[in-house]
Amino acid sequence: MAQASVECSGPATVVFDQSLTEYDFGPDHPMSPLRVDLTMRLATELGVVGDRLRVVPAPMASDDVISTVHRPELIEAVLRAGRNPGTVDEAHGLGSDDNPVFRDMHRAAAHIVGASVEAFGQVWSGESMHAANITGGLHHAMPDRVSGFCIYNDVAVGIRSLLERGAERVAYVDLDVHHGDGVERVFWDDPRVLTISLHETGQMLFPGTGFPRDLGGPDALGSAVNVALPPGTADAGWLRAFHAVVPPLLREFRPQVLVTQHGCDSHAEDPLAHLMLTVDGQRAAYLALHDLAHELCEGRWVATGGGGYALVDVVPRAWSHLLAIVSGAPLDPARDTPGAWREHVRERLGRAAPMRLTDGRTPAYRDWRDGYDPEAWLDRAIHATRMEVFPLHGLDPMP
């Protein structure tokens, strides 16, 4: 079963300016800002960024805005560290291999928070139907510490801004290969926010959390949803899990805004994890979420980036597809990448860039309603999540 996309002509925005690439942990760190630069170059040369996808500059988030999620002590620690790049502050997660300190890191992180808050504001105000911040999606940051390459949790701050402006139901769907633990933690006991994370099982991968029985706090049981996938899961299994869990829960919850995180580190070529998706499988999920936003939220959709460490071969293509879908005009996967973009990659990095926007796959999956195999790890994972969560939403967990 494949996914088709609904027509979309609403106004759309990407929040971006080049200074957002100052979020830079250094030349040897996996999370290089090069991935953002190559994405925006590719999307621009493909004609995605322009008339249909308006570019809005990213404002700087104030300390007051950041403190709607993060404790003042953390903000102060990040400010101190950014003035002294040799700092090690274990209590706040600063100075580790994952989270090395760099000069002016508070400013760089606050800028990404500001970009996401702007995207959220664009959608809530109606100025844009869809809005994206590919530099955002820093979902591991906790209220009191940085974590997993994430200094401040721009997604959580953005969702908080929606709640403060009167939103009553916000759904967050996290497609990163790693569990969206920080966003889940912030809204653990808030029934107004449904968090759904599909990720490689914490048995195998950082941060080691996100299991089916993690369901939310006592006042919000069922508001946290986790699908812990086995290593090696590819397009067909991943899409099977997605469609078995995400659409039924979103339809029951009926969010006013759909917020999504699109870490593309689930790709087979990503160096930090063990799932086996293709760009084509990732694109299918983007289309499905776009359609759900139209079905349930009158199109109100905020999309962010996230992880993704195959800097040339995967991230620019995946996120160019995402931005195109946000714009309302999906790209043909069979299209060639522009020659000028490939030449830029060759001159900048001395390597060959992908020739086409596709990995040559046609994503398809077997619908959960056709039955499941209790002998298969993937199906056991899906079944476990449905058995834990679906009854809390009044849904039948069985196929």
CB environment 59-79: b (16+ within 10 A), e (fewer): bebeeebbebbbeeebbebbe
| Cα 161 to Cα 121: distance, rounded to the nearest angstrom | 8
Residue type, 277: L
Helix (H, G, I), strand (E, B) or coil at 366: coil
Whole-angstrom Cα Rg for the chain: 19
Q: Verify cis geometry, omega within 30 degrees of 0, for the bond prior to 212.
A: no
CB 307 within 8 A of CB 207: no
What DSSP line would sit under 169-231, residue for residue?
Answer: -EEEEE-SSS--HHHHHHTTT-TTEEEEEEEE-TTTSTT----TT----TTSTTSEEEEEEPT
Helix residue ranges, H only, 202-304: 235-253, 279-297
Q: Cα(288)–Cα(245) distance, rounded to whole angstroms?
A: 13
Contacts (Cβ under 8 Å, ≥6 apart) of 126: none
| Given 92, 111, 140, 321, the catalytic residue | 140
The yes-or-no answer on residue 140 being catalytic is: yes
Give the active site residues. 140
